[in-house]
Amino acid sequence: MPKAGKVQTAFLLPILFIFFLPLGSMTFFSLFSTRSAADFGFYRLALSGIVLDTPRPAFSLEDWLTHSLQDQLDKWFNKSFGARALFVKLGNQIYYDLFNKSYMQDQSIIIGKNSQLYSDGSIYNYCKLIPPMPPKHAEARVMELMEIQEGLHNRGVEFILLITPNKAGIYPEYIPDAFCESPKALSRDYESFIPLLEKHKINYVDGHTITLEAKNRESAPLFCQGGLHWNYLGAYHTSRQLTEKIETLTQKPVGSLHIETLNIDHKPTGSDKDLASLLNLAIPPYDYPAPHPVIITKQAFHQLGKAVVVGTSFNWILLDILNKARIFEGIDYYYYYKLTLETFPIRTSNPVDLSKFNWEKDIFNSQILVLEINEGGFQDNYIPAFLSDILQHLRANPRD
């Protein structure tokens, strides 16, 4: 073969390979339609996050004539062509490396300085780009908390408001400068609520302040570079003060949490890399410090009964710490109040059916009720929904 022909062939073969790769892989996986790429060991070909399945459209002459079939086929093919995940990840890698940008999760992942990852909502809140709750509404909300605290106390249940931190509030120094240059509000909800909680003597644990103070003491990160949520070291400090608050309110010696050993490596797992995984890159950015503390309980003389917790995903690590410490006989966790009921110590998960809710049995027979609110989520919808329902039942069945 002439030299010119060899050169042409060298260029042509890669082009043909790339051209036929989607069709070839699509044909391959169609033969095993019940199995995913991960089943064959191709873990890098699986996308992270929620991937909606797009069914193959059925042929219809009417749809063909109205061109809706073509639109359906286009959407189906975009979701189903072979090696789609590979091409998605390669495209994401280009945007990440060249433009410091991600289009995943509706562009809600913000890449900050030193490759720190944030959710856009936490940045908008910290940089005061979201209007805070009007003062009268905030005051009314805290008055509801006070009524709930008193109503539960009269039933022998102690109430605690737990404020969890987010990464933007603890590590604002890595937020891209452009976000905080032009705030639209003078304050944010967290700053407005703390004085009101003090004024009305609400039992609360301020995880934001606790974690900021721990940040000055700890050399390891309390939020990992690729994580949305705090890591075990970050959650430990608030968990410890939460148990101290529980001990004070119940007057029962439940013991204190301590770190026995602390290992720091570059092998993040679970929520320590949740945002990094959602970037869906060909080369995931997992090379960053991740602390792994071994947390133990000292001087635990009493185990409490049941605890009820209502809140967000920032509770998962904290609940794992409390569950392993065996502070409670059981924990019922209402995830965003209405989504799922997670129970401990033996982990179960069930849907929440409010129509079958027994407040006396499910809520009011606990020793502790913890309402968790993230520092950037004082206006989350689950909060007024839960407060309205529990107030309705407390008012209908008052106890002195």
331-346 confidence digits (pLDDT tens)? 999 999 999 999 999 9
CA distances to 115, 139, 155, 206 from 200, in Å: 41, 9, 20, 15
Cis bond before residue 291 (omega within 30° of 0): no
Q: Token digits for 398?
A: 């008052």
Q: How far apart are CA 244 and CA 318, in angstroms?
A: 14
Beta bridge partners of 163: 206, 373
Domain boundaries, the chain: 118-396
Per the CB < 8 A criterion, the answer to whether 47 and 85 are in contact is yes
Q: How far from 146 is each of 78, 150, 160, CA to CA, in Å?
A: 53, 6, 11
pLDDT in tens, 335-375: 999 999 999 999 999 999 988 889 999 999 999 999 999 99
Sheet (strand 328-335) strand order: 204-206, 158-164, 368-374, 304-311, 328-335, 340-344, 348-351
Q: What is the pLDDT of residue 25?
A: 56
What is the model's pLDDT at position 41? 47
Mean pLDDT, the chain, rounded, equals 88
Of 356, 365, 354, 352, residue with least CA distance to 388 = 354
